[in-house]
Amino acid sequence: MKQYKINIHAHSIFSDGLNTPYIMALEAKRLGFTSLVITDHFYGFQLGKNNHFSMTVEKMKMLKRACIEAKKILPVIVGLEIPHFGQEVLVFGGEAIKNILKKGLPTHEGLIALKRETNCAIVLCHPSEDFDILELIEICDGYEQYNSGCDLFRNNRNRGGFRDKVSWCNSDAHHADSLEVGYNVVDSKITTESDLIKYIKSGKQPLHFLKGDKMISVEPNEFEKKVSKMSSDEMKEASDEAVQKLKNTFQPDDLIWINGEQVPAGPYLNKDNTLRGV
């Protein structure tokens, strides 16, 4: 039986990640993944700190343009992470995502309608120990048992109503070099949105793997520590600056940061000297 490697929860620079889709695709291919799945955040239209790292219709268009270059390296699937009932869920399905970005965060009834009217799948991500909520059980096709290398049930093995749901092991990567912290091995080659939705809803249980095949502890990196101390205005400025940097031009010998190392920009540039993947 053939086996394929996939992680269905990761973030790019278009929300609170550190890398462009192109860089993420390069690393995902090096690590042997079948495809790259990007699930950037959408917090709705409310004002506040988190909203500066939230997707918008315009940022989604930018992400899709960025994925054109990334797809030359590896198939890319775009999902969305949204808050729901005090937790967060991953939504897969272009029509459902377009509806959410345009109309705002759906009510529970609205999310049920999207599942009924569009081809989409929903996975509960990094649940807290008190996540056993009837509405979440009703709406989700699966849940994360492992996130960022951590067993979310090490202190609470009772999955309650989720006991019969498919469990996933994802990295929740915010930088490309952590894509392999947690991943899944499946028996189907998943390269498109439809492939992923079909697998999630099939009820098949993927195999779980953690980096090094053992439990690891993931500490916040320096960027995450800095962000946690930012005011709302400082976070908006940092987010705007990160997106603007993607549009800047570079010289081939300019040094840029890739996965924590400074490297020459040359191999990562378009013909007009903008950073590839934007």
The model's pLDDT over 27-50, given as tens digits with 9 standing for 90+, comes to 999 999 999 999 999 988 764 444
Q: Domains in the chain, start-ordered, CATH in brackets?
A: 4-223 (3.20.20.140)
Q: Checking DSSP bridges between strand 142-147 and strand 121-125, what pairing results, if any?
A: parallel
Q: Is the pLDDT of residue 207 over 70?
A: yes
- Amino acid 83: pLDDT: 92
Q: What whole-number distance in Å separates Cα of residue 7 and Cα of residue 142?
A: 14
- Amino acid 108: pLDDT: 92
Cα distances from 270 to residues 26, 154, 248, 278, in angstroms, run 15, 46, 11, 9
Q: What whole-number distance in Å separates Cα of residue 41 and Cα of residue 67?
A: 17
Q: Which of 182, 213, 235 is nearest to 41 (CA)?
A: 235
Q: What whole-number distance in Å separates Cα of residue 190 and Cα of residue 6?
A: 8
Q: Is the pLDDT of residue 121 over 50?
A: yes
- Amino acid 120: pLDDT: 98
Other Cβ atoms within 10 Å of 58 Cβ, number:
9
Helix axes 232-247, 57-70, angle to 10 degrees: 40
Q: Which residue has the tokens 């920009």?
A: 265
Segment 240-255 mean pLDDT: 60
**More confident call, 225 vs 270:** 270
The percent of residues above 90 in pLDDT, for the chain, comes to 46
Is-contact 271 264, C-beta < 8 A?
no
Identity at 107, one-letter amino acid code: T
Segment 174-196 mean pLDDT: 93
Look up residue 9 and give its two tokens: 């929860």
Q: Which of 191, 175, 242 is nearest to 26 (CA)?
A: 175
Q: Is the pLDDT of residue 214 over 60?
A: no
Q: Which residue has the tokens 């840029």?
A: 256
